[in-house]
Amino acid sequence: MTIYGTALLSICLLFGLSVGRILGAVIGVDANVGGVGIAMLLLILVCDRLQQSGRMQPPTTQGIAYWSSIYIPVVVAMAASQNVVAAIKGGPVAIVAGVMVVIVSFAMVPIISRLGQSDAPPPNSHTLPTKDES
Amino acid sequence: MELLELLRQVLTKYSLVTAFAVIGVTVWGSYFLSDCLTRGRLHGSAIAILIGLLLAYVGGIATGGEKGIADIEMLSGIGLMGGAMLRDFAIVATAFGVRMDEFRRTGISGIVSLAVGVLMSFIVGALVAYSFGYRDAVSLTTIGGGAATYIVGPVTGSALGASSEVIALSVAAGLIKSMLVMVTTPFVAKYIGLNNARSALIFGGLMGTTSGVAGGLAATDPTLVPYGAMTATFYTGLGCLLGPSVVFMLIRSMV
C-alpha cells in the first residue's frame, strides 16, 4: 500500500525532528539540531534494510517517491512565501553582508573539496568544461 | 461581481488545492520559458524559483505582510505548501534511493565544511558590519549570525540582547544570502566543481541556508539535493550554538 511508504517517511521525519529538538535542548540551544539530517539517515537505513530483505513492495516505494518528486514545486512555493520585501529593505549592510558571505562561501567549495581527497575517489575530472556557455 | 466573490470563496476555502494549481502552472510556465527563450540553458526550476521570489515581492508590497504571496488570503495555501512542514517532508523523501556508503565516504569533509562555513559566515558578516561603523561586540556577532542564516542571526541577537534594529538587519542579511544562493548556484556550479555528491555535501555545509541550498541544488541538479540538504540541516543548530558563546567571546576580545 502506498500509504505505508508515506507513513514510513512521516515516522522518520518525526523521529529525526524529535531527536534534533532533544539534542538542541541538551546543548542548550533553542533550535532543532540536525533533525532533518537524522531523519534522512534513518530513511536511508530503513529502506536499505527493507529492500535487501525484499520486503519493500513497489506501491510502498511510490508513497515515498511521490514526495521526493514534488520537492521542486515545494521549493517554488517556499520561494514565493519568503519575506523578500524585508530582505531588500534591510539596507546596504544586509545586502553587502549577504553578498559577501555568498561569494566567499562559493570560493571555499573547491578548496575544501580538494582537502582530504586522498580518502575519497577523485571528483569527476570534467569539472571545468572547455566551452564557456554563459 | 457576485460570480467573482463566489470564486474567491472557493479558492480561499480550498487554499492548499489552489496552491497546487498555482504552483503547478508556474512551474509549467517556467519550463516552457526555459525551453523557448533559453533553449534549456537556464533551468526551468531556476526560473520557477525566480518567479516565486518575484511573486513574494509583489505579495509583500501588496499586503505589507511577511509571508510573501501567501499573505493574500486566496493564496495562503502556498505558505502551507512551502512551509517548514512540507519542505522538510519533501527534503527527507529525496534521501530515498541514496546509498549509505556515499555519505560515509564524505563524512569528514562534511564536518570540516560545517565548521568552516559557520565560523567564516560570522567573520565575514562581522567584518562587513564593522566597515559600516558598528563597533560593539553584540551587534557585530548578531549581524555575523545573520550572515550565517536568518535563524542564527535573531537567535544570537536575542540571546545577547541586541537591539531590534540590528536583529532585523541580521534577518535581512540571512534572507539575502538565501535568495542569492537559490538564484546563483546553477550559474556558479560548474566553476566550483559542484557536480558530485561529495562537493554537494561540502556546499551544503558551507552555505548552510537550507532553503538556499535546497533551491540552488534543485535548479542545478536535483540528484545532489539530499547531499547538500543533509549537511545544511546541521548548520543552523551549530550556528545557534557557537554564535552566542564562542564567537561572541572571540569578537568581544578583539573589539
CA distance A62 to A9: 11
Encode burial over A9-45: b for 16+ CB neighbours within 10 A, e otherwise.
bbebbeebbebbeebbeeeebebbbbbbbbbbbbbbe
Query: Shortest CB distance from B98 goes to which of A17, A33, A44?
Result: A44
Give the chain A residue nearest B238 (alpha carbons): A33
Verify that B68 and B119 share a domain, yes or no: no
* Angstrom distance (rounded) from CA B137 to CA B252: 5
A13 contact residues in B (CB cutoff 8 A): 88-89, 92
Are residue B25 and residue B127 in the same domain, yes or no? no
- Tell whether B135 and B239 lie within a shared domain: yes
- Give B8's pLDDT tier (boundaries 50, 70, 90): very high
Instruction: Identify the domain containing residue B61 by its residue range.
Output: 2-82
Based on the fold, state whether residues B161 and B46 are members of the same structural domain: no
Query: Who among B52, B88, B179 is closest to A76 (CB)?
Result: B52
Q: How confident is the model at residue B41 (pLDDT cuts 50, 70, 90)?
A: low
Q: Can you give the residue ranges of every domain in chain A? A: 1-82, 83-115
Q: Would the CA dihedral through B112, B139, A87, A74 be positive or negative?
A: positive
Cell 548548520 sits on residue: B235
Among candidate residues B29, B52, B82, the one where a domain is terminated? B82
The residue-averaged pLDDT of A65-91 equals 84
Answer for the pair B160, B248: CB distance below 8 angstroms, yes or no: yes
Chain segment B173-208, per-residue pLDDT in tens: 988 898 899 889 988 998 998 988 889 999 999 999
Same domain as B247, residue B136: yes
Q: Please say if the pLDDT value at position A113 is more than 90.
A: no
DSSP A126: G
Q: With an 8 Å Cβ cutoff, are B90 and A71 in contact?
A: yes
Question: CB atoms < 10 A from the CB of B93, how many?
Answer: 28
With CB atoms and an 8 Å threshold, state whether B180 touches A24: no
Report the distance separating Cα B140 and Cα B126, nearest Å: 5
For the stretch B137-148, pLDDT in tens is 999 999 999 999
**Residue B214 counted as domain residue:** yes
Alpha carbon distance B216, B195 (integer Å): 13
Residue B89 lies in a domain: no
| Residue B174 belongs to a domain | yes
Q: Which of B29, B54, B82 is the last residue of a domain?
A: B82
Tally DSSP H helices, then E strands, for chain B.
13, 0
User: How high does pLDDT run on average in chain B?
Assistant: 87
- In DSSP notation, B93-140 reads HHTTT--HHHHHHHHHHHHHHHHHHHHHHHHHHHHHHHHTT--SHHHH
Q: Report pLDDT digits (tens) over B52-111.
A: 888 999 999 999 888 889 999 999 999 999 888 998 898 888 888 676 776 666 678 888
Determine the residue of chain A that is closest to B27 in CA distance.
A73
Which residues of chain A does B183 touch, with a Cβ-Cβ cutoff of 8 Å? none
| Cell numbers placing B159 | 540571546
- Tell me, yes or no, whether B129 and B29 share the same domain: no
Residues A106-121 have a mean pLDDT of 75
Per the structure, the count of domains in chain B is 2
Is residue A126's pLDDT more than 60?
Answer: no
Find where cell 525484499 sits: A54
In this structure, the answer to whether residues B157 and B243 fall within a common structural domain is: yes
What ipTM is given for this predicted complex? 0.79
Q: Which of B55, B86, B170 sits opposite A74 (nearest CB)?
A: B86
Domain boundary among B82, B114, B149: B82
B124 and B47 belong to one structural domain: no
